[in-house]
Amino acid sequence: MKRRIKAGKRRNSGLSLNVLTDDEAREIHLSTLEVMKDVGVFVENDKAMDVYDGGGCLVDRKNKVVKFPHWVVEEAIQAAPSTFCACGRRPQDDVLLEDNRVTFTNFGEGIMFVDPYSGERRDTTKADIEKAARIIDALEHIETYERAMCSHDKPPEVQALHNAEASLTNTSKHHWLGPVDAFQARKIIDICAAIVGGKERLRERPLLSFVTCPISPLKLPEHHCDIIMEAAENGLGVNIIGMAMAAASGPVHLAGTLVIQNTEVLSSLVLSQLTRKGTPFVYGSSTCPLDLRMATASVGSPETGVISAAVARLARYYSLPCFVAGG
């Protein structure tokens, strides 16, 4: 098992980066609780509303809005483990995810590709995924695999299955996979269970974690809820990647955008813990500002780095593993 050195230790001397003080992190948390209690989130999934209802949330089925008493949120935060093992196919590929330890993965999902042999700019294919997975498998310091590309040469209804098959057969590292819907989530679980020797074995050594994103502002779509519940019911971790956009789907100021994202992530956390207490949960973020001149996501801006650092601080505040875009 790989256990990386500590990062971000508090010291009395030297240089450190703390985007949020303890008081500021708590202010964002309290503002988030206020939004969750008074505004709530829009939930498209009927089964998820049943889970929320049974867990003490206030469910308005007519308008599909779920509101969260403070105690429900706090109990879910306490129930989520502060660390979990992202298992690979081999024990030497295992990576421990915990507070203040930094590991690296590739990012995705790439949809266009510049062919290194012809120079052609084209859609990505399943063969490209296979090659990317082999490269990542060979890179010592890329410790887990996230879906790198999309198999555009396969039908959209089953692309996630082809993406999974292409990478699972070419790297033994832990996978972060986005299954798109409940059907493909269950099929990917079946594939991984076949690899490790059954579903009970998969629960003991989860080869993959699911990745899914809410829709800003404050919406948990049907497939998002399905993926969270499928992961929890099968003992898998779930990585919720918030994608609020400052000045577009979130307020123009970064603190307000953090509250929007935090509301979406914590409402997803509640669903995971109400489905199965102790489900491994990763606080993810690809939140960035809007480029107001070009009307595009400014993913390479300095503000994105600031947001990622702030999200890492919030994850530490909640004692949750964190997954953010590099800044």
Cα–Cα distance measured from residue 253 to residue 163, given in angstroms and rounded to the nearest whole number? 37
Closest CA to 269 of 319, 313, 312, 309: 319
> What tens digit of pLDDT does each residue of 16-71 get?
677 899 999 999 999 999 999 999 999 999 999 999 999 999 999 999 999 999 99
Backbone angles phi, psi at 291, to 5 degrees: -75, 110
Query: Six-digit token pair at 162?
Result: 């082809």
Digit-coded pLDDT (tens) for 125-153 = 999 999 999 999 999 999 999 999 999 99
Three-state SS for 185-228 is HHHHHHHHHHHHCCHHHHHHCCCEEEEECCECCCEECHHHHHHH
Please, what is the average pLDDT of the chain? 92
Domain ranges for the chain, please list them: 22-324
Distance CA 129, CA 291 (A): 30
Give ∠ CA 241-243-248 in degrees, rounded to 5.
170
DSSP state of 276: S
Fold topology of 22-324: TIM Barrel (3.20.20)
| pTM (predicted TM-score) | 0.92
pLDDT at 185 over 90: yes
CA contacts within 13 A on the Cβ side of 134: 6
Provide the CB-side half-sphere exposure for 252 (13 A, CA).
2
Question: Which tokens is 64 given?
Answer: 């599909």
Q: How many degrees, rounded to 5, is the angle at CA 284 between CA 281 and CA 287?
A: 155
Q: For residue range 7-19, what is the model confidence (pLDDT) as tens digits?
A: 655 555 455 677 8
pLDDT at 14: 52
